[in-house]
Amino acid sequence: MRAWTVLGIETSCDETAAAVVRGAPPGPGEILSDIIFSQLEEHRPYGGVVPEIAARAHVEMLDGIVERALKEAGCALSQVDAVAATAGPGLIGGVMVGLVTAKALALAAAKPLIAVNHLEAHAFSARLSEGVTFPFLLLLVSGGHCQLLGVEGVGRFKLYGTTIDDAAGEAFDKTAKLLGLAYPGGPRIEELAKTGNARRYDLPRPMRGRQGADFSFSGLKTAVRQLTLEEEVNAADLAASFQLAVVESLIDRARAGMAMFRRDFPREASPAFVMAGGVASNGAIRTALAALAAEEGFTLKVPPIRLCTDNAAMVAWVGIERAGLGLFDPLDAPARARWPLT
């Protein structure tokens, strides 16, 4: 399969990003440039992402970031083979900014447009970094999503489990807020937990042992809230106890997902178990799931931390995957707030 050079644009939440990637499936690909402007400081006073602020920042920053990405890659817009942009799911204002920009660039340069599902971009990030082959089991775990899927190919997913309420990343951020930690809370919980006693507080492991592979984190979040209201807690011990509860919940649900994957793909001797999304940056979770994967005959594959959080390189890579199959989109491709993989 021929190599493609694709410009990718990502604006689904609070990162304004553009990247140029070259390669061919199954990867790995060559990241020629990867520019990310984080809006953390703009949103920090509010303890979370404010959609209107995010969209405005994308409008102000995106043109310059695309220009930087092309310059660092050493290529002109006329030299890329296609333009890919996140078309959903995400904050609709931000998604529209990136998608409309991509449409304008594609039209001006007479290049094909590829409208990318943000979740598929996370799913394929391990193909970009390591060339993981199909099929593989995916744990997509982030601030807005928590899913277990069998990945058969481009646009081909089997859903084994999803959160019935909150995502794991949201639970991390809400717990951090209850402990008075600054936004974003996930990295601060992980750091604080290193000094805490993880057995100090007896917190629930929602859905553990249940049939299927669905997740739930609302009850865990509520239990943390009740503790902080009822007593003066030790922040480090509660952070460690919370993180352990998340880890053990993920292990239980991932084990169930592995059994489902084995049922559907019995010929795979040592399949990849890919963890992607922002929460995949958590070292304690990675360590625990690596041990589970080895126990169950899987090989854990986690993209580099920079590719776990939102970025445009993974969007460009999906552009390469889809371009290789001739899957291009018309210029009236819609922006979508919701766009499930299945």
pLDDT tens sequence across 286-302: 999 999 999 999 999 99
d(CA 22, CA 316): 9
- As a whole-number percent, the residues of the chain with pLDDT over 90 amount to 87
Average of per-residue pLDDT across 241-265: 97
Average of per-residue pLDDT across 30-34: 98
d(CA 236, CA 160): 34
Domain at 97, CATH number: 3.30.420.40
Do 74 and 98 reside in the same domain of the chain? yes
d(CA 127, CA 210): 32
Average of per-residue pLDDT across 138-160: 95
Do 140 and 108 reside in the same domain of the chain? no
Secondary structure element (H or E) that encloses residue 249, with its range: helix 235-264
Do 147 and 118 reside in the same domain of the chain? no
Q: Which of 111, 189, 193, 124 is nearest to 153 (CA)?
A: 124
Average pLDDT of the chain, as a whole number: 94
Average of per-residue pLDDT across 106-123: 97
Do 95 and 138 reside in the same domain of the chain? no
Domain membership flag for residue 337 = no
- Give Cβ neighbours of residue 296 (< 8 Å, ≥ 6 apart): 255, 258, 273
DSSP 165: S
Is 70:76 a contact under the CB 8 Å cutoff?
yes
By CB neighbour count within 10 A (0-12 exposed, 13-18 middle, 19+ buried), where does 183 fall?
Answer: middle
Per-residue pLDDT, 214: 97
Per-residue pLDDT, 145: 86
Do 316 and 208 reside in the same domain of the chain? no
pLDDT band at 109 (very low <50, low <70, confident <90, very high): very high
Do 172 and 295 reside in the same domain of the chain? yes
Is 217:146 a contact under the CB 8 Å cutoff?
yes
Per-residue pLDDT, 342: 84
Residue 53 predicted with pLDDT over 80: yes
Distances (CA, A) of 46 to 49, 225, 311: 7, 19, 23
Per-residue pLDDT, 49: 76
By CB neighbour count within 10 A (0-12 exposed, 13-18 middle, 19+ buried), where does 26 fall?
Answer: middle
Domain membership flag for residue 169 = yes
What residue type is 261 in one-letter code?
F
d(CA 263, CA 128): 27
Per-residue pLDDT, 331: 97
Domain membership flag for residue 334 = no
Residue 45 predicted with pLDDT over 70: no
Q: Reduce the DSSP state of residue 71 to 3 states and report it.
A: helix
- Alpha helices, DSSP H only, in 110-216? 118-123, 125-130, 168-178, 185-193
User: Residue 172: which domain range?
Assistant: 134-304
Per-residue pLDDT, 86: 98
Residue 46 predicted with pLDDT over 80: no
pLDDT band at 39 (very low <50, low <70, confident <90, very high): confident
d(CA 7, CA 84): 6
Domain membership flag for residue 332 = no
Domain membership flag for residue 79 = yes
322: how many CB neighbours lie within 10 A of its CB? 26
Per-residue pLDDT, 63: 96
- As a whole-number percent, the residues of the chain with pLDDT over 70 amount to 98
Q: Which of 243, 249, 152, 162 is nearest to 205 (CA)?
A: 249
pLDDT band at 201 (very low <50, low <70, confident <90, very high): very high
Average of per-residue pLDDT across 132-138: 97
Per-residue pLDDT, 122: 95
DSSP 197: -
Count: domains in the chain: 2
pLDDT band at 52 (very low <50, low <70, confident <90, very high): confident
- Alpha helices, DSSP H only, in 74-160? 92-109, 118-123, 125-130
Per-residue pLDDT, 308: 92
Residue 326 predicted with pLDDT over 70: yes
